[in-house]
Amino acid sequence: MIPDLSLPALRRAYADGVTTPAEVLADIGRRAETYADRNIWIHRLDAAELQPYLDRLGELDPASHPLWGIPFAIKDNIDLAGIPTTAACPAFSHTPERSATVVEKLLAAGAIPVGKTNLDQFATGLVGSRSPYGACANAFNPEYISGGSSAGSAVAVALGLASFSLGSDTAGSGRVPAGFNNLVGVKPSRGLLSARGMLPACQSLDCMSIFALNCDDAAELLALSEGEDVEDPYSRANPYRNNRRHYGRWQGELTIGAIAEEQLRFFGDEAYAQSYLETMEQLAQAGAEIVPIDYTPFDTAARLLYEGPWVAERYIAASPLIEQQPDALLPVTYGIIAPGREAPAIELFRAQYQLETLKRTVRETLARIDCLLTPTAGRLFTLAEIAEEPVRRNSELGYYTNYMNLLDLCSLAVPAGFTKAGLPFGITLVADTFDDRKLLSIANRLQALFGLPQGTTGLTYREPSYQPAGDKKQIPVVVCGAHMEGLPLNWQLTERGAKLLERTTTSPHYRLYALAGGPPLRPGLIRADHGAAIEVEIWSVPEQAFGSFVAGIPSPLGIGKLEMIDGRMESGFICEPWGVEGAEEITSLGGWRAFLARSA
């Protein structure tokens, strides 16, 4: 039986004395030999190479090192000190003295590297078969592709040869292999994980990716791996709304954008088409609102990646080798990268202008939904089918993935089910930049709904996070006076981009007063045992504008929690009790508009 190597399961096994890291690594080594035909590894650490990592565990406290003894795999375009990095090209092989920044973080947390995994050469492909080290076969059926380029990283986790793994993702390499091997695949916002020590495919677009068995593991690993890095020019600071505290189980309403039916593509895979329909029906029955969206701008952006000038970046990454030893590259890899040498600068600027227009359209679409949901891939090809038409079918695999980094979005591949033939089917959730925890929280809810096994283990994850989570980009604010729609201070909301959500009343426990001063006149709302329901409006204020809005509120007013007529508590205007001394009580009028009408 394939063991449960998820983070909580392995920690329990260590804490209970059921096994040790040395025994786990030895077992992985034995089982890895039985999967030799899958071509998972380019370099698996031998006993001598593993021993320093095992010895070091004796110096580390498991309580303060959250990955103590946890085995992980590293895509072989990411550096591990003292172990060759090949990018699946033997002529490119070199041995780095220092590990990549993210690898350093994981090692510092106590993780143990199992080895460097196979990939599509120079991370160019979505198939997992473009490697001189052999085609990496699917974890569930070796006649099928594993997906690439992070092929070995996904298959290693799915087969229980690592608890998690690192990949990279320029065009879908962290998602397609996850979808084909029943894993969670994190394609984070660009710059959230440092790319120092990772060989770039397209440096301005690349990001490192994470393969995990479930959402809780993925969320923890993202938190342990992220961080702004001054050594990476594309690294970015993570905003507060996206920090690790905001991961949990998505609560309340869920609005999912779905590609219009006529724009879906399954490339002849009826099993995948049926799995997608069943998934959407399951979500709808669970209460999700499904909203059709136009996929045209996403697809247009996707085409720019390989049909536009960004292929020049791939040429830059491989230029020393391709210019001096072109025969060292596989013909299919050379055929994709070599044209990048001819890309003129004028085409790059034209493409950038087009891309900015597409970004605006896409963000307007994403603002109306909690996330976009697509199939991770439209078809799971056999290795033989890919060999027949390697370029066209690779392109088809990128139909739902290639746009992501060009549009600066984040995404998450999530297992959604199995076909009748027992092959994994996965979906991908998509949202705006730095919505990573939002997507993980939504996926956490879906994971509980789908109830699928982890990888190929057959073991269902039973410890999902129940911490409530929701959208932190907008903050509901209750207003009861001059900030209401059409009144003198409403501009302080609208000019900050706030939107009216609803008109309602408080619970019947408030008293309303007309405060002295002005213009404009303002009310004061006080909580009281014997009061009335007061007319209010709830406005949605953008998170980044909330602070400046609150800073402008004059004493004796402030923001506190108000009880609505339906019992929920929302942030809104309250008044300090001393502020209503000598003020006219207008509770009986039921609201500020009624007071203004009376005073007119």
Q: Give dist(CA 191, CA 229) in Å, integer.
A: 9
Pairing mode, if any, of strands 468-469 and 249-250? parallel
- The verdict on 74 and 91 lying in the same domain is yes
Q: CB–CB of 288/255 below 8 Å?
A: yes
pLDDT of residue 465: 63
- The verdict on 80 and 213 lying in the same domain is yes
Is residue 296 domain-resident? yes
Range of the structural domain that residue 571 is part of = 474-599
Give the chain's mean pLDDT. 94
Q: What is the pLDDT confidence band of residue 125, given thresholds at 50, 70 and 90? A: very high
Q: Give dist(CA 20, CA 10) in Å, integer.
A: 9
Give the three-class secondary structure for 253.
Answer: coil
- What average pLDDT does the segment 419-429 reach? 97
Q: What is the pLDDT confidence band of residue 471, given thresholds at 50, 70 and 90? A: low
DSSP for 33-45? HHTGGG--EEEE-
Which residues are paired to 474 by β-bridges?
542
- The verdict on 421 and 522 lying in the same domain is no
pLDDT of residue 304: 87
Q: Give dist(CA 400, CA 172) in Å, integer.
A: 8
Entry pTM? 0.86
| pLDDT greater than 70 at residue 174 | yes
pLDDT tens-digit map of 1-10: 688 999 999 9
Is residue 2 domain-resident? no
469, 491, 510: which is the final residue of a domain?
469
pLDDT tens-digit map of 60-75: 999 999 999 999 999 9
Pairing mode, if any, of strands 164-169 and 71-75? parallel
Token pair, residue 506, equals: 């408080």
Q: CB–CB of 322/330 below 8 Å?
A: no
Is residue 140 domain-resident? yes
pLDDT of residue 319: 74
Output b/e per residue, 112-128; b: 16+ Cβ within 10 A: bbbbbbbbbbbbbbbbb
**CATH number, domain with residue 334:** 3.90.1300.10
pLDDT of residue 434: 97
Residue with tokens 């730095």: 434
435, 452, 469: which is the final residue of a domain?
469
Pairing mode, if any, of strands 557-563 and 569-575? antiparallel
pLDDT of residue 472: 65
- What average pLDDT does the segment 151-173 reach? 97
- The verdict on 440 and 492 lying in the same domain is no
- The verdict on 352 and 482 lying in the same domain is no
The residues annotated with a catalytic role in the active site are 75, 149, 173
- The verdict on 364 and 426 lying in the same domain is yes
| pLDDT greater than 70 at residue 396 | yes
Torsion of CA 413, 419, 424, 427, to 10 degrees: 0
Of 295, 298, 439, 296, nearest to 359 by C-alpha is 298
pLDDT tens-digit map of 528-560: 989 999 999 999 999 889 999 999 999 999 999
| pLDDT greater than 70 at residue 411 | yes
454, 469, 484: which is the final residue of a domain?
469
Of 335, 169, 369, 418, nearest to 255 by C-alpha is 369
Q: CB–CB of 122/87 below 8 Å?
A: yes
- The verdict on 520 and 410 lying in the same domain is no
- The verdict on 551 and 511 lying in the same domain is yes
Q: What is the pLDDT confidence band of residue 163, given thresholds at 50, 70 and 90? A: very high
Amino acid at 395: S
| pLDDT greater than 90 at residue 350 | no
Least confident window among 20-34, 111-125, 323-337, 349-363? 323-337
Give the three-class secondary structure for 446.
Answer: helix
pLDDT of residue 463: 62
Token pair, residue 123, equals: 């991370």
Is residue 440 domain-resident? yes
Please compute, for residue 508, the number of CA atoms within 13 A of its CA located in the half-sphere on the CB side.
3
- The verdict on 455 and 479 lying in the same domain is no
| pLDDT greater than 80 at residue 151 | yes
pLDDT tens-digit map of 432-470: 999 999 999 999 999 999 999 999 999 887 665 667 776
- What average pLDDT does the segment 504-524 reach? 93
First to last CA, the chain: 80
- The verdict on 96 and 196 lying in the same domain is yes
Of 131, 185, 241, nearest to 470 by C-alpha is 241
Q: What is the pLDDT confidence band of residue 341, given thresholds at 50, 70 and 90? A: confident
Pairing mode, if any, of strands 289-293 and 255-259? parallel
Q: Give dist(CA 444, CA 415) in Å, integer.
A: 11
Is residue 1 domain-resident? no
pLDDT of residue 347: 82
pLDDT of residue 599: 85
- The verdict on 376 and 516 lying in the same domain is no
pLDDT tens-digit map of 262-313: 999 999 999 999 999 999 999 999 999 999 999 999 999 999 887 777 777 7
Is residue 126 domain-resident? yes
Least confident window among 25-29, 203-207, 462-466? 462-466
Residue with tokens 């070091």: 56
Q: Give dist(CA 88, CA 173) in Å, integer.
A: 15
Of 525, 546, 521, nearest to 536 by C-alpha is 525
Q: What is the pLDDT confidence band of residue 233, given thresholds at 50, 70 and 90? A: very high
- The verdict on 90 and 24 lying in the same domain is yes
| pLDDT greater than 80 at residue 473 | no
pLDDT of residue 98: 98
Is residue 322 domain-resident? yes
185: burial class by Cβ within 10 Å (0-12, 13-18, 19+)? buried
| pLDDT greater than 80 at residue 318 | no
The alpha carbon of residue 73 and the mean position of all alpha carbons in its chain are separated, in whole angstroms, by 20
For the chain, the domain total comes to 2
Is residue 497 domain-resident? yes
**CATH number, domain with residue 525:** 3.10.490.10
